[in-house]
Amino acid sequence: MNSPIINQLFADLSFDRSAERPVYLQLADALLSLIRNGQLRSGQKLPGSRDLANLLKINRITAAKAYEELQMQGWLESAVGRGTFVSTHVADHNPEMLKAITPASSKLAGFTFHPRDFPDRIAETPLYGLHLDDGYPDPRLAPLKEFYRAYRNQLTRSGLYPKFGNYGNPAGPAAYRQAISEYLNATRGLKTTAENILSVRGTLMGINLVSNALISPGDVVISEIPGWRRAEHNFLHAGARLIGVPVDEHGLIVDELRKICTRQKIRMVYVTPHHQYPTTVSLRIDRRLELLRLANEYGFIIFEDDYDFDFHFKHRPLLPLASADENGMVIYCGSFSKSFSPAFRMGYLVAAENVIEHLAKVRILLDRQGDHVLDNAMADLLNDGTIQRYLRKTLAVYQQRRDFLCDLLGNELKEAVKFTVPEGGMSIWTVFDPSIDLEELARKAFREGLYLPDGKIHKYPDYDANGIRLGFASSAQEDLIRSVEILKKLML
C-alpha cells in the first residue's frame, strides 16, 4: 500500500451512484483530476485495484476498469509484477506557475482574443405572450404537414445511396437549384438556369459567404442608413471600409452614391430595394435604373437582399434589380425564412455562373454542402405548387393584419407615433415621439407580457429617428388589440 498521504487523497473521493455516469468513469475522472492538478506526479505508483477497492468501498472490477480506462488514454501505465503508475510521459505541473494563470472554466477561455464590436445577440421573442416583433411570419399558417410529408418522402424513396450516400454539390442539389431557377424566372422575371443558383442557409449566410469570397481588406462597401446591422458587421468582419448612404422616402439616395463613386473605388453596394430594411420604403424606378448604370460604369457589385419579395400588397411587386441586370453586376439573395419561419434556414444566392462556382468552392470551407434533404423537400413543394398556394393565402391574411394594426395605431396612438402604411412586408416602420424612451418602453412592455424591439439597432451617429419596426404578420387580430392596449397604457 502507498503512503498515508496517497491513501488520504483517495479516501476523500466520493461517487454519486444515482448518476447516469458509471462509477468507474467517475473514479477515472477523479484520478485524472488528481494528475492534472499535480497531486499525483509522473511515475508515482498507485494502489493496486484490490487495495483501492477496499479503500473506496467499491467493487474491485470497478477499480480495475477505472485504471484500464486511464491506461487506454495514456495517463497511466502498468508493469507486470510491479503495479500501476502515473505515466512517465505526463509532464508534472508547477503549482507556482498555475497560480499565475486564470483557471480554465466553461465561461472563460484560457487564451486571449480581441472581441469585435458587433451587436448583441438578437433578443429572443418569448415563446408565449404577446409580441410586435421585427417582422416575422406566422408559422401557424405555414404548410407544415406538406413539408413534413415531402421531407419524409426524401428518406423513404428508393435510390438513397445515389442521393445521400456521399457528399454532394456544395452549390446545392440539382433538383433544388432547378426548382429555384424556374420559380425565380416565373415570379421575379429573372433569366437563370440551375447553374446560376447556390443554396444557402438563409440570407445571413449568403452575405457572409459573399463577404468571405469577394471582399478583401480595405475594399469599400456601401450600405444604407439606416440599414441592417448584421449585414454591416459581416462586411466589417471581412475587413471592408464601410460607408453609409442615407435613405429617404424613395429609398437609397443614389445621387449621394454617385458622388462617392467619383472620389474612390467601390467594391460593393448592399441594398434592400424592394422593402428597405428597416423603413420598408421601395427604391423608386429611376433610382433603380441609375444604380444599375453606376454599377456598370464603375464596376462595383450590387448585393440585392430581397428578403420579403413575396409579400407586397398594393400592386404587383416591382421586379428585382437582378431582372434588369444585363452585365452580371448583381448578386441576388432571397430566403424562405420569411415565408415559413426564421427557424427554417433555407435560401439562395443568384449570380453569374462563374461567381456561383467560386462561391461554391469557398462554401466548402464553411458548410461543405448544406442540407440536401431539406433542399430537395423544398424543391418538391415548389414543383407541386404548395409554396405558391401558401403564399397566395398568407398574402391576404397579412394584408388584413397590416390594415388592422395601422388602424389601431392611427386611432389609439396617433398622439405618440407616426408611420406610413407599408406597401408590403411584415412590419410597420413606426417613429415615436422624441420624448419616449424606446428602451425603457420595451422593458416596461415586457413586464406587461409584450415583447417589443427597443430600437437600439437602428441608431447611428448621424441618424436617430426614434423608430422601431412593429411586426404584424405573426399576431392574430385579438393579440394586436391587446398589444396596442398595453402600449397605450404605458405611453399615454
Q: Write down the pLDDT at residue 125.
A: 55
* Dist. CA 311–CA 320, nearest whole Å: 14
Rounded to whole angstroms, how far apart are CA atoms 234 and 223? 12
The per-residue pLDDT for 460 is 93
How far is residue 483 from each of residues 83, 315, 317, 431, measured CA to CA in Å? 73, 29, 30, 17
pTM of the model: 0.80
Give the pLDDT mean for 86-114.
64
Average pLDDT, integer, range 416-428 = 93
Cell matching residue 97: 506557475
Residue ranges matching CATH 3.40.640.10 in the chain: 144-388
Predicted confidence (pLDDT) at residue 430 exceeds the cutoff of 50: yes
Q: In CATH, what number does 4-95 get?
A: 1.10.10.10
Residue 8: pLDDT above 80? Answer: no
Cis peptide before 226 (omega within 30 of 0): yes
Give pLDDT, residue 181.
96
Percentage of residues in the chain having pLDDT higher than 70: 91
- Mean pLDDT to the nearest integer, 395-422: 94
pLDDT of residue 100: 45
Pairing of strands 197-200, 220-225: unpaired
Could you tell me where in the chain the CATH 1.10.10.10 domains are found? 4-95
Q: What is the rounded average pLDDT of the residues 64-82?
A: 89
CATH 3.40.640.10, applies to 144-388 = yes
Give the integer Cα–Cα distance in Å for 206 and 211.
9
Of 9-18, 99-108, 247-256, which gets the smallest average pLDDT? 99-108
End-to-end Cα spacing for the chain: 80
Strands of the sheet containing 220-225, edge to edge, are: 197-200, 347-350, 330-335, 301-305, 268-271, 220-225, 241-248, 251-252
pLDDT, average across residues 463-468: 93
Residue 93 sits at the vertex; the CA angle it makes with 87 and 97, to the nearest 5 degrees, is 170
| pLDDT reading at 314 higher than 50 | yes
Q: Looking at this protein, which amino acid is placed at residue 315?
A: H
Give me the pLDDT at residue 256, please: 97
Question: Which pLDDT value is given to residue 160?
Answer: 66
Rg from Cα positions in the chain:
30
Rounded CA gap, 141 and 341, in Å?
10
Q: What is the mean pLDDT of residues 131-143?
A: 90
Q: What's the whole-number mean pLDDT along residues 122-145? A: 79
Inform me whether the pLDDT recorded for 22 exceeds 70. Answer: yes
The amino acid that residue 154 corresponds to is Q
Query: Does residue 247 register a pLDDT over 50?
Result: yes
CB 284 within 8 A of CB 274: no
CATH architecture entry for 130-136+398-491: Alpha-Beta Complex (3.90)
pLDDT one-digit tens code per residue, 179-194: 999 999 999 999 999 9
Sign of the Cα torsion 19, 20, 23, 26 reads negative
* 205: nearest Cα among 244, 172, 231: 231
Q: In the predicted model, what is the mean pLDDT of residues 21-41?
A: 89
Instruction: Decide if pLDDT at 369 tops 70.
Output: yes
Confidence band, pLDDT 50/70/90 cuts, at residue 128: low
Cβ-contact 339, 390 below 8 angstroms = yes
In the chain, which segments carry CATH 3.90.1150.10? Answer: 130-136+398-491
pLDDT > 70? residue 215 = yes
Q: Could you give the percent of the chain with pLDDT greater than 90?
A: 60
3-class SS string, the chain: CCCHHHHHHHHCCCCCCCCCCCHHHHHHHHHHHHHHCCCCCCCCEECCHHHHHHHHCCCHHHHHHHHHHHHHHCCEEEECCCEEEECCCCCCCCHHHHHCCCCCCCCCCCCCCCCCCCCCCCCCCCCCCEECCCCCCCHHHCCHHHHHHHHHHHHHCCCHHHHHCCCCCCCCCHHHHHHHHHHHHHHHCCCCCHHHEEEECCHHHHHHHHHHHHCCCCCEEEEEECCCHHHHHHHHHCCCEEEEEEEECCEECHHHHHHHHHHCCCCEEEECCCCCCCCCCCCCHHHHHHHHHHHHHHCCEEEEECCCCCCECCCCCCCCHHHHCCCCCEEEEEECCCCCCCCCCCEEEECCHHHHHHHHHHHHHHHCCCCHHHHHHHHHHHHCCHHHHHHHHHHHHHHHHHHHHHHHHHHHCCCCEEECCCCECCEEEEEECCCCCHHHHHHHHHHCCEECCCCHHHCECCECCCEEEEECCCCCHHHHHHHHHHHHHHHC
Residue 108 has pLDDT above 90, yes or no: no
The predicted model gives 396-425 an average pLDDT of 94
What is the C-alpha to C-alpha distance for residues 200 and 237, in angstroms, rounded to an integer?
Answer: 19
Has residue 49 got a pLDDT over 80?
Answer: yes
Q: How confident is the model at residue 1 (pLDDT cuts 50, 70, 90)?
A: very low
pLDDT at 169: 85
* Per-residue pLDDT, 10: 78
